[in-house]
Amino acid sequence: MHLLTAVSGTSDSISPVLLVTGLIGALSASLVILGALRALLLRTIGRRRNGYGRISRLGTGTQLPFFTSVLGEPPAVQHSVVKDDYMVPVNRDDPEWDRTSDRLQLKPQPRKFVISVFIDRDYYVQTISDDDQTVLAYSVTTRSRRFRPSLRPVPACSRRERLRRWRDPIHPFQPRIVLGRTRFADLDATEPDHVAPPRLRLRLGASSFDHSETAYYGRPGMYQSFVWSAGDVARQGPLGSVAKARSELPGDGWSHIGSSYAWPAWSELTEFRRFRRETAITNYTVCGAGLSLENYPLPRFGVGEHEVWTLR
């Protein structure tokens, strides 16, 4: 009898410890299982949603290692280019100083840019950074018909504010861009067949093409410049006739339709207007205040075929 009582008392004193230990073990096992399930979901049905979340965190003015931590892998391609970025005054002791003139003299200042390309199964991300690894601009290009990231250049506002901006020409229409779905004609607030985009460029080569249109929203857009593009790298959306559209344009440089005698009126560009209605945007580029579009160091926006054709 005394033996049973002693054993029972000992069992009662050990039970809480065993219970806590068992709960901790069960919780740890549950966390391991949940972590494995989460990793599986992110690799399968939740992969695209996870990609949308990663891309939404990107921004200009951040450090290049931040892009690496967000996107999960280091750049697959990286190289540097040197381009004249801005004009600086010429010193009188400089050999380039023109002694026959007393006016202020300027010369171009070369600047080094580092180009990095991140590659994912669903998209490309290209960054342009300086020597301090500060990201000055970045581009996102979809490479899958099912990957449809969106970008809102201006943060969402109230319905009343959206209505005011729609009607007020001082506050232009600011669309929500969905890669692979939004057409270039959707960038116009109203009457896309009668209102030309502010700035555009369509280039067609032997085996490549790219079409880009720019936008700038001032302070609501954080003083950033935006470029919407479609090209030969990722034809993951509806595409109009590039050749017919190009045949109506006199040059392959940037243009303001109707602002120069060399460019026809917007109403005369029938095939080009049709091209904008039928072609979806597959790349968007964001340039921070530290890099203007005029000084963009690359010939095109987003990755080129020569950069990624060996990496699939």
- Dump pLDDT digits (tens) for 127-185: 999 999 999 999 999 988 888 998 888 766 666 665 665 555 444 456 788 999 999 98
> What is the structure's pLDDT at 170?
44
Q: Indicate whether 120 and 39 sit together in one domain.
A: no
Q: Indicate whether 2 and 79 sit together in one domain.
A: no
Q: Could you tell me if residue 289 is inside a domain?
A: yes
Q: Could you tell me if residue 144 is inside a domain?
A: yes
End-to-end CA distance of the chain: 78
> What is the structure's pLDDT at 2?
47
Q: Indicate whether 66 and 185 sit together in one domain.
A: yes
Q: Indicate whether 148 and 15 sit together in one domain.
A: no
Q: Could you tell me if residue 201 is inside a domain?
A: yes
Q: Indicate whether 20 and 65 sit together in one domain.
A: no
Q: Could you tell me if residue 4 is inside a domain?
A: yes
Domain that holds residue 220: 61-83+113-308
Q: Which residues of the chain have pLDDT under 70?
A: 1-14, 35-44, 46, 87-88, 155-174, 189-196, 234-236, 256-262, 312
Q: Could you tell me if residue 96 is inside a domain?
A: no
> What is the structure's pLDDT at 118?
95
Q: Indicate whether 27 and 76 sit together in one domain.
A: no
Q: How many domains does the chain have?
A: 2
Q: Indicate whether 295 and 245 sit together in one domain.
A: yes
Q: Indicate whether 224 and 275 sit together in one domain.
A: yes
Q: Could you tell me if residue 287 is inside a domain?
A: yes
Q: Indicate whether 156 and 33 sit together in one domain.
A: no
> What is the structure's pLDDT at 3?
44
Q: Indicate whether 134 and 212 sit together in one domain.
A: yes
Q: Could you tell me if residue 193 is inside a domain?
A: yes
Q: Could you tell me if residue 107 is inside a domain?
A: no
Q: Which amino acid is at 23?
A: L
Q: Indicate whether 165 and 270 sit together in one domain.
A: yes
Residues in the chain, total: 312
Q: Indicate whether 147 and 288 sit together in one domain.
A: yes
Instruction: Name the pTM for this structure.
Output: 0.77
